[in-house]
Amino acid sequence: MNNCRRIDPETLKQVANLAAQYKGREDMLVEVLGQVQKIACNSVPEEVISVISKEMGIPKAKVYSVATFYAFFSVQKRGKYVIRMCKSAPCHIKGAQEVLAAMEKFLGIKVGETTYDGKFTLETCECLGICDRSPAIMINDEVFGPLKPEDIEDLISKFE
C-alpha cells in the first residue's frame, strides 16, 4: 500500500474481487468493509462503496449507512496509518491531552485531519481497554503505551 492520496484502479479491482465473494451476504457487510479498509487507504470512500454495493448486491444507501455507523470505518479518505488517541477518563488523567498535542505538533495536523503526504491520520477514540498502559494510542492495529509527549517523535518516525 502506497501513501494514500487516491484510490487507484488496481485497488478498486481488489475491492471488487473481495466483495464479489460475498454476493448477497448482507450479514458479511461489516467483515467486507473491515477487510476493504485494509487495502483501500484505511477508508471506504464513495467509489469504494459503489463497488462493494454493486458486487455484493446491497443498495448503496445501506452500505453507506453501515459505513458511517461504525467509528472504525471512515467514508473520508484517511492516511496509510490511522493514529487513534484514547480519550477516555484514565488516559485523560494520565496526560492524554499532552500526548495528543505532541502528535499534532509533530505531524502538523489537527485531530480528524490527514497529513499532506497521505501517510498519517490523527483521530481520537473511545477506551482501548489497556488502561494499565495509559495514556495509550493505537496505530492501525497496534497499541502503544504508556506514552509521554517526548516519546512521540521516535515512535511515529518508525512508521514508513
Partner 1 sequence: MKVTINNQVIEVQEGMTILEAAQQIGIKLPTLCHHPDQDVKAHCRVCVVEVEGQRVLQPACSFRCFDGMVVHTNTERVRKARKMVLELILAHHNQDCLHCARNQSCELQTLAAHYGFNEENRFPLRVRGEGIDMSSPSIVRDPSKCIACGRCEWACSQYQAVHVLSRKHRGFETYFSTPFDMPFDESICVNCGQCVQACPTGALTIRDDTEEAWAAINDPKKVVVAQVAPAVRVNIAEALGEESGTISVGRLVTALKMLGVDYVFDTDFTADLTIMEEGTELIERLTNGGVLPMITSCSPAWVKFCETFYPEQLGHLSTAKSPQGMFGAIIKEWYSKKIGKTPQEMFSLSIMPCTAKKYEAKRPELGRNNYQDVDCVLTVQELAKMIKSANIDFGALPESEFDKPFGLGSGAGVIFGATGGVMEAALRTVYEIVTGKDLENIDFTMVRGLKGTREATIQVGDLPVKVCVTSGLANARKIMELIKEGKADYHFIEIMACPGGCIGGGGNAYRNWAKISARRKALYKIDAEKLPVRQSHKNPAIKEFYQDLGVKPGEGIAHKLFHTHYTDKSHVDI
Interface residue list for partner 1 (CB under 8 A):
46, 49-50, 53-54, 59-65, 68-69, 75
Query: How many residues would you count in the chain?
Result: 160
Q: For partner 1, give the closer residue by CB, 66 or 128.
A: 66
- Least distance to partner 1 from the beta carbon of 56, Å? 12
Q: For partner 1, give the closer residue by CB, 64 or 159.
A: 64
Q: For partner 1, give the closer residue by CB, 62 or 92.
A: 62
- Least distance to partner 1 from the beta carbon of 110, Å? 19
Distance, CA of 148 to CA of 96 (rounded, Å): 9
- Least distance to partner 1 from the beta carbon of 43, Å? 13
- Least distance to partner 1 from the beta carbon of 73, Å? 11
Q: Which three cell numbers stand for residue 55?
A: 458486487
Angle formed at CA 72 by CA 157 and CA 76, multiple of 5 degrees: 80
Closest CA to 72 of 58, 56, 84, 88: 84
- Least distance to partner 1 from the beta carbon of 60, Å? 5
Residue 86 · residue 135 · CB < 8 Å = yes
Instruction: Please provide residue 80's backbone torsions phi and psi, each rounded to the nearest 5 degrees.
Output: -60, -35
Q: For partner 1, give the closer residue by CB, 74 or 134.
A: 74
Give the strands of the sheet with 137-139, arranged side by side: 120-125, 81-86, 137-139, 142-144
Q: For partner 1, give the closer residue by CB, 56 or 102.
A: 56
